[in-house]
Amino acid sequence: MAMMMPTYDLARFGAERMSFSPRQADCLLVCGTISKKLGPVLKEIYTQMAEPKWVIAVGACASSGGIFDTYSVLQGIDKIIPVDVYVPGCPPRPEQILEGFMQVQALSQSESLRRRDTPEYQNLLESYGID
Amino acid sequence: MTNEFVLEAIQREFSDSVISHSEPYGFLTLEIKKEDIKKIIHYLKDSSLEINFLTDICGIHFPENKEKEVGVIYHLHNMMTNFRIRLKTFMPIENTEVDTITDLFAGANWMERETYDFFGINFKGHPDLRIILNDPDLGYHPMLKEYRLEDGTRTDKDDKMFGR
Amino acid sequence: MKDNELSNILSQYDSKEQIDGQLYTLNLGPTHPATHGIFQNILTMDGERILHSEQTVGYIHRAFEKISERRNFAQITTLTDRMNYCSAPINNIGWHMTVEKLIGCEVPKRVDYMRIIMMELARIADHLVCNGVIGVDTGALTGFTYVFQDRERIYEMYEQICGARMTTNMGRIGGFERDFTPKFHELIKDFIKNFPKRFEEFCILLERNRIFMDRTIGAGPISAERALSYSFTGPNLRAAGVDYDVRVAQPYSSYDDFDFIIPIGTAGDTYDRFMVRQQEILESYKLIKNAYENLPEGAFHADVPDFYLPEKADVYTKMEALIYHFKIVMGETEIPKGEVYHCVEGGNGELGFYLVSDGGRSPYRLHFRRPCFIYYQAFPEMIQGSMISDAVVTMSSMNVIAGELDA
């Protein structure tokens, strides 16, 4: 939350408009712990996003389950959706999240335009069961 | 309103319901028979003792106490005189059932659902007793001592390496 | 679904076509920007009016109570600050006080005053976010950005004493890990001098603003009797008119040395909750000022060598310190058996810790009495018959924090 505010402004990097509808968003930031109950909801949101899309897993809990090795916590969102950038930390400092965001910008510059047609990408999505 | 005064009032009204009493850290704690717990809470709420604020309901599991494994613990409070009391009631694990107090306190609704979710205690007469915090697909009541903390169905973490 | 309630509503309509035509089910789903957290509300609506709502919570359930049966007392502090993460020091200090009650430890006066300063800073941070968010939900985004400047200053103060911004893990059993640093003294003097003026800028945006008042007066009211029946505590109960504050009813950590008023409202609606929190921010500011000006000299931790790690220099040179360090880290200290319930005034109400110890290194059972979980069940009753925009503003004014809701 603090990273969007004046001191660590995320808007400098082009992320001014927090779009609350996944259909109009380019980048999905998953912050915080995801429990198994929320897993299907997260997958639904990911499939609603239109290509090109990137996913940043913010925090230790989203990356790998974090300190919560319990029966109810999903041990990392990469179990259900493909992730581009992992930002560790519990909680990550605003500067770390900005760095993660800048890495997404670097990825978007270096990848080919038709990423969705490459066979590796198709195989990746199939392994998650997203078609 | 002292501990002795309230204890004496309860013992006078319900002499055979109170199984035991104690005062750990100055907090009056009574163990009550399972069938009479609702009557006693109702009495505490409506009588001149005015202990009419429900602070919390939680459950507890003692696998070693035979016939009294699962317990429900009520914390009640009288805000005007700042008097707190804890009531406990135990039941055997084969038959975990107790009366609901949602008609006395509206706030007991979710507290009892949470206790049901974690321990499997059936609250008779509850308007909507279903799982609240856990995933409905979980299939068991996780806070009972026989279940482990980690997810038993996970395949990626090797227990030997993680010291379990 | 509560069948009898919904069927009462549906029976007012003549035919199924009318029901399908008129009533609308809206899923204010788990991930929704207006909810500031992860919980779901399924609303049955007639146009814009809400007839019935049903909630699903538990989307961020992390099984804190089961985890705490595995961790020792010092490690549970890290769990407590992830409950109400907007005011984490209050949770930490409340847990430490519970353990101190169990082991029978008395802390020095300086520790009490330091704790008051940190807890009131946390309370200011929590209320600032809540009030800023009420503004955002009515469309006033600027106030939120003002508020975050003050939160950054409070975060800098936390960093001085414990090293972290949000999940603070502040303090130890028996006191604090270090005394206030010179930089902290500088920051807090600056805070005491400048906060009222900056807060005034936020107040004049919203408090007597015509649009804000029209939006929030009458939105989501609850009467004092219903609030007490639902076991409300904290600012939500005080907005309904009941002046119950744990700091005054059962003073802990030397709060009874100070004089502060408890603001109460009358109607229990959103405007009252907003104003109660505004006034509480000012009262907390006065408490911080008084506590800082009268900060007594002394030790910054109690003398409990069984629980408080000794200085590292001593561990390398003295035998007793080495033995204590070993015993604490390996979990060999003797912990009394018993059960204790201790509560503190959290940002949202009475945060209680019920601890049952069987003498082992971790609790046998630890239950958190979380105020958010308990008062959120009254939400359907509060929004019955109101419009959806009122429902959104009511939800944000109740300050429901998902970490505390699910724990």
Q: Which residues contact B139 (CB under 8 A, 6 or more apart)?
A: none
C56, amino acid identity: T
C71, amino acid identity: R
For residues C89 and C22, membership in a common domain is answered with no
Q: Which fold has domain A17-128?
A: Rossmann fold (3.40.50)
Instruction: Looking at the complex, report in whole angstroms how far the Cα of residue A64 sits from the nearest Cα belonging to chain B.
Output: 11
In this complex, is the C-beta atom of B151 within 8 Å of any C-beta atom belonging to chain A?
Answer: yes
Tell me the backbone φ, ψ of residue A125, rounded to 5 degrees. Answer: -65, -35
Mean pLDDT of the C278-294 span: 93
CB C227 within 8 A of CB C240: yes
CB B128 within 8 A of CB B110: no
CA nearest to C133, candidates C38, C254, C33: C33
In this complex, is the C-beta atom of B2 within 8 Å of any C-beta atom belonging to chain C?
Answer: no
Side-chain-facing half-sphere of C18: CA atoms under 13 Å: 7
Spatial separation of the C-alpha atoms in residues A73 and C63, rounded to whole Å: 8
CB C399 within 8 A of CB C274: no
Report CA-CA distances (Å) from C331 to A34, C209, C305. Answer: 31, 57, 13
Say how many domains are in chain C: 2
Q: Residue C365: pLDDT band by 50, 70, 90 thresholds?
A: very high
Spatial separation of the C-alpha atoms in residues C204 and A15, rounded to whole Å: 30
In this complex, is the C-beta atom of B149 within 8 Å of any C-beta atom belonging to chain C?
Answer: yes
Instruction: Looking at the complex, report in whole angstroms how far the Cα of residue C161 sits from the nearest Cα belonging to chain B.
Output: 32
Burial of residue C16 (CB within 10 Å: 0-12, 13-18, 19+) is exposed
Burial of residue A7 (CB within 10 Å: 0-12, 13-18, 19+) is middle
For residues C42 and C129, membership in a common domain is answered with no
pLDDT of residue B55: 92
pLDDT tens string C252-263:
888 988 988 999
Size of interface A-B (CB pairs under 8 A): 27
In this complex, is the C-beta atom of A75 within 8 Å of any C-beta atom belonging to chain B?
Answer: yes
CA nearest to C62, candidates A65, B137, A41: A65
Q: Residue C140: pLDDT band by 50, 70, 90 thresholds?
A: confident
Query: Looking at C28, C56, C84, which one is the last position of a domain?
Result: C56
Tell me whether residues A71 and B150 touch, CB distance under 8 A. Answer: yes
Spatial separation of the C-alpha atoms in residues C276 and C254, rounded to whole Å: 23
B18-22 and C350-357 strand pairing: unpaired
For residues C101 and C211, membership in a common domain is answered with yes
pLDDT tens string B71-122:
999 999 998 888 999 999 999 988 888 999 999 998 899 999 999 999 999 9
Residues 22-51 of C with CB under 8 A from A: 29-33, 38
Mean pLDDT of the C208-234 span: 90
Spatial separation of the C-alpha atoms in residues C113 and C296, rounded to whole Å: 8
Strand runs (DSSP E) across B33-144, as ranges? 53-61, 70-78, 83-91, 97-99, 122-124
Report CA-CA distances (Å) from A22 to A47, A113, B4, C213, C222. Answer: 9, 21, 62, 33, 35
CB C259 within 8 A of CB C213: no
Sign of CA dihedral A65, A66, A68, A69: positive
Report CA-CA distances (Å) from C371 to A29, B47, C344, C345, C354. Answer: 29, 27, 11, 10, 14
Point out the residue among C65, C338, C373 whose CB comes nearest to the CB of B110.
Answer: C373
Q: Which range, A16-30, C25-39, C334-348, is most confident?
A: C334-348
User: What are the boundaries of each domain within chain B?
Assistant: 3-124
Spatial separation of the C-alpha atoms in residues C236 and C378, rounded to whole Å: 11
Tell me whether residues C62 and A35 touch, CB distance under 8 A. Answer: yes
Q: Which domain holds residue C30?
A: 3-56
Spatial separation of the C-alpha atoms in residues C369 and B70, rounded to whole Å: 19
Sign of CA dihedral B41, B47, B48, B52: positive
pLDDT of residue B159: 66
Spatial separation of the C-alpha atoms in residues C150 and C157, rounded to whole Å: 11
Q: Mutate which of B22, B54, B132 to disrupt the C interface (most C C-beta within 10 Å)?
A: B132
Report CA-CA distances (Å) from C214 to A26, B70, C136, C274. Answer: 37, 51, 15, 13
CB C82 within 8 A of CB C377: no
For residues C165 and C112, membership in a common domain is answered with yes
CB C81 within 8 A of CB C92: yes
pLDDT of residue C22: 76
Sign of CA dihedral B120, B125, B126, B130: positive
CB C271 within 8 A of CB C390: no
C49-56 and B97-99 strand pairing: unpaired
Side-chain-facing half-sphere of C397: CA atoms under 13 Å: 35
Spatial separation of the C-alpha atoms in residues C115 and A114, rounded to whole Å: 57
ipTM here: 0.91
Q: What is the DSSP letter of C301?
A: B
pLDDT of C4 over the 60 cut: no
The dihedral region occupied by A89, where left means phi > 0, alpha psi between -120 and 50, and beta the remainder, is left
In this complex, is the C-beta atom of C332 within 8 Å of any C-beta atom belonging to chain B?
Answer: no
Nearest CA in chain A to B149: A70
In this complex, is the C-beta atom of A2 within 8 Å of any C-beta atom belonging to chain C?
Answer: yes
Q: What is the DSSP letter of C35?
A: G
Q: Residue C2: pLDDT band by 50, 70, 90 thresholds?
A: very low
Contact partners for chain C, using 3 or more CB pairs closer than 8 A, are A, B
* CATH code of the domain in which C193 resides: 1.10.645.10
Q: Which residue has the tokens 């998650």?
A: A128
pLDDT tens string C130-139:
999 898 888 8
Residues 34-53 of A with CB under 8 A from C: 34-35, 37-38, 41-42, 45
pLDDT of residue C31: 76
In this complex, is the C-beta atom of C369 within 8 Å of any C-beta atom belonging to chain B?
Answer: yes
Tell me whether residues A32 and C30 touch, CB distance under 8 A. Answer: no
Q: Residue C407: pLDDT band by 50, 70, 90 thresholds?
A: confident
For residues C15 and C68, membership in a common domain is answered with no
Point out the residue among C101, C229, C341 whose CB comes nearest to the CB of B105.
Answer: C229
For residues C47 and C72, membership in a common domain is answered with no
Tell me whether residues C350 and B60 touch, CB distance under 8 A. Answer: no
Domain B3-124 has CATH 3.30.2130.10: no
Strand runs (DSSP E) across C29-107, as ranges? 40-46, 49-56
Nearest CA in chain C to B29: C339
Tell me whether residues A71 and B151 touch, CB distance under 8 A. Answer: yes
Residue B83 tokens, joined:
């008097």
CB atoms near residue C259 (< 10 Å):
9
Instruction: Looking at the complex, report in whole angstroms how far the Cα of residue C253 sits from the nearest Cα belonging to chain B.
Output: 17
pLDDT of residue C79: 87
CB C149 within 8 A of CB A7: yes
SS (H, E, C) C319-374: HHHHHHHHHHHHCCCCCCCEEEEEEEECCCCEEEEEEEECCCCCCCEEEEECHHHH
Over its length of 131 residues, how does chain A's per-residue pLDDT go in tens digits?
656 665 666 767 776 667 777 888 888 888 888 888 888 888 888 888 887 888 999 888 888 888 888 888 888 888 888 898 999 888 888 888 888 888 888 888 888 777 777 888 888 888 887 75
A11, amino acid identity: A
In this complex, is the C-beta atom of A67 within 8 Å of any C-beta atom belonging to chain B?
Answer: no
CB atoms near residue A9 (< 10 Å):
15
A54-58 and A85-87 strand pairing: parallel
The dihedral region occupied by C340, where left means phi > 0, alpha psi between -120 and 50, and beta the remainder, is beta
**Helices C142-162, C182-206: inter-axial angle, 10-degree rounding:** 160
In this complex, is the C-beta atom of A70 within 8 Å of any C-beta atom belonging to chain B?
Answer: yes
Nearest CA in chain C to B103: C229
Nearest CA in chain C to A68: C62
Contact partners for chain A, using 3 or more CB pairs closer than 8 A, are B, C
Q: Which residue has the tokens 């007639």?
A: C46
CB C240 within 8 A of CB C223: yes
For residues C246 and C177, membership in a common domain is answered with yes
CB B17 within 8 A of CB B32: yes
**Omega into A92 within 30° of 0, i.e. cis?**
no
Tell me whether residues A72 and C149 touch, CB distance under 8 A. Answer: no
CB C343 within 8 A of CB C352: yes
